Structure 1
C-alpha cells in the first residue's frame, strides 16, 4: 500500500500586496512569497512584466478562489518611453526592429497623438505577451520566431496624461482597463507619430483600490519573518472585494449558505447583482463567507471559503 503524499506548506489564507522588484517575473515573486510564508498555495492577480515594478497582489490559500476579481480590476501605470526606436518586445529588452530620427515634437503635438489613445480603443496584443494560443503562451512562440495572427481587443484608457517631454523621452500616467498592454500602447503611439517608440521603464502604481503605498517590499517581508511579525502583512481575503456591497447574514442563515442553499435576501439588499457575504455574530463580529448572487429576492452562494 503506497504512502499518501503530504501537501507541502501550511494552509495560510489571505492577501499580500507586494511591490514587485525590477527583474522578477510574477511567477518568481509567487514562489518567493510562498516559501517565505511556507504557504500551501499562492497565486497572483495578473502578470506584471519582468522589467516592471510595482503593485502585485498575491493571493494565499483560499484567497486564490477570488483572484479573478483582482484580474478584472482597472490598473494604473507610470511609464517612461523613448521615441525613435521600436523593439520586438516593446521595451528595452527587445531587439531593435526600426530606428528613425525624431523630429521636433512639443507637448501640444504629442497630446494630439495621445487623444487617439484615450477612451475605448482596439488594441492588438504583442506577440511577447502571456496570452495563450492552443495552450502555449504567445511569448514562447515569439522566441521561436513564430508570429501568429491576434485579434484586436476592446480596452479602455481612462487616463493617458503626458507628464513630461524632454528630447526623445516622454513620461505618461496611464489608467486603463484589464487586458491593456502598456508596451503595445507605447509602440502604437510611436507608430502614429511616425518614428517608433518603446518603454524604458514601467511601474504599476495601482490595481483597483490597492495603491503602491499599500504595498510591502520583499526585503521587509524577510525582516518581518526573522522578528516573528510576518503575519502583519497578511491581509484578509475580503480586501479583494472592498468595493462590493456587503450582505450580513445571521449565524443560522450563514449555516444554510455554507451548505450551498439560497436564502432570503435581507430587506436592505439590492434587487439583483453580485455581493459580498458576511456572517454576523451576536456581538456584531463579521466573518467573510464568500460571494453570492441576488435574484428574485434570494441570495445564492456562488463561491465560498472553506
Structure 2
C-alpha cells in the first residue's frame, strides 16, 4: 500500500473571511487542501452562522496558534429585542416573548456603560462547554433539561473584559453594536444580558468578526478568491504570495532578543543561553548575524538565562 501524501512544508498565516453556513473546521480543511499544506490550524472557532475574520496558520505558524486564541477579538453584531431564544441566536427556539420598552440613544448608552470594562459572564447553555467530556449542546440533544444545563453553565461563570462597546444604530426592536473584547467573551451572552438590562430580552441575529489579534477584515480573502487563484496558478505561487510570515502573530509588545548563529544553534539543541537581560516572561527569539535574520521562536528570560518555549524548525546558514 502506497504512503499517504504528506503535503507541502509551507509556513505562514492567511486571513480568511469565513462565509455564512460553514464551520471553522470546514474552512480550515478547504484552505489546507488549496495550499496542499502538511499542517494547518485555525485560531478560534466561529459558529457556522457567524462570518468574518478567521486566521489560518500553516506549517510552523501553527506553533503560535495559542497566542491568537488568547488574543483580543472584535465583532459587529445585531441584536433583536423582545425574544429570548434557547441558543442565544436566531437558530434557537423561542423561549420567551416580551414587550420592548421605548428606547432612545440616551437610555441605551446608560445601559451599555454597565457592560464596559471587566464583566462577569455565564457562558450560553448551547456552547462548547463540556460536562463529563461531552459538549453541553450534545447533552441538550440527548435530553438534558434547561435547568440542568443552566446549573452547569453557572459553574463556568467567568470574568471577561469589554475594551470597547459602541452603539452604531438602533431601531424600536433591534440594535447594532461593535465590540472589542478579551478572549473567552460570548457575544450571544453579552447581547442577552443587554436585552435583560433593557427589560425585554434579546438574541443575536447577525455576528461578524472584524478583528482577531493583529489581523483585521481588510486583510481577509474569501474562499472564492482563493479557489480562483488556485486555478490560475498550478505551482501555487499566487496563493503562497498571500501568506503573511509567522512573526506577524507575535505581539509587538514582546521584546526581541538577538542571538548569534552559535547561540541560536545551542538554543535549538535545548540549551539555555546566558544573558545580562532583565527577566521577561515573553520574548521573541531571533538569530541575527552578518545580514541573517531568522525567527527562532518564543521564550522567556529568567534568572540571567534565555529559555525557549516554542521553537521553529529552522535551518541555520553556515557563515564559515
Q: Which TM-score bucket, shorter chain as reference?
A: over 0.9
Aligned-pair CA distance for 1:46: 0.8
1:26 paired to 2:24: yes
Gaps of 5+ in 1: none
Aligned-pair CA distance for 1:270: 4.3
Aligned-pair CA distance for 1:248: 1.6
Aligned-pair CA distance for 1:4: 8.1
1:290 paired to 2:300: no
State the distance in 1 between where 2:212 and 2:259 align: 29
State the distance in 2 between where 1:291 and 1:7 align: 31
Aligned-pair CA distance for 1:223: 1.6
Pairing of 1:90-105 with structure 2 (within 5 A):
90-105=88-103
Greater shift, 61-70 or 252-261, is seen at 61-70
In the other structure, the counterpart of 2:81 is: 83
Gaps of 5+ in 2: 314-320
How big is each residue's C-alpha offset from its partner over 1:248-273, in whole Å with a ceiling of 9 and x where there is no partner? 211111101100111123x5x44322
Give the alignment partner of residue 50 of structure 1, picking from 25, 48, 51: 48
How big is each residue's C-alpha offset from its partner over 1:97-138, in whole Å with a ceiling of 9 and x where there is no partner? 111121211111112221221110110101221233332222
- Report the 3-state secondary structure (helix = DSSP H, G, I; strand = E; otherwise coil) of the residue aligned with 1:165: strand
Aligned pairs, number = 301
Give the alignment partner of residue 270 of structure 2, picking from 253, 256, 260: 260
State the distance in 2 between where 1:117 and 1:240 align: 29
**8 A contact 2:101–2:199 mirrored in 1:** no
Give the alignment partner of residue 286 of structure 2, picking from 253, 278, 287: 278
In the other structure, the counterpart of 1:209 is: 214
State the distance in 2 between where 1:70 and 1:159 align: 19
Normalised to the residue count of structure 2, the TM-score between the two structures is 0.89
In the other structure, the counterpart of 1:247 is: 257
State the distance in 1 between where 2:49 and 2:38 align: 28
Instruction: Decide whether aligned partners of structure 1 residues 235 and 77 sit closer, same or farther in structure 2, where only a CA change above 3 A counts.
Output: same
In the other structure, the counterpart of 2:158 is: 153
- Report the 3-state secondary structure (helix = DSSP H, G, I; strand = E; otherwise coil) of the residue aligned with 1:233: coil
Pairing of 1:159-170 with structure 2 (within 5 A):
159-170=164-175
**8 A contact 1:272–1:296 mirrored in 2:** no
1:194 paired to 2:205: no
Q: CA RMSD in A?
A: 1.6
Aligned-pair CA distance for 1:210: 1.0
**8 A contact 2:101–2:198 mirrored in 1:** no
- Report the 3-state secondary structure (helix = DSSP H, G, I; strand = E; otherwise coil) of the residue aligned with 2:107: helix
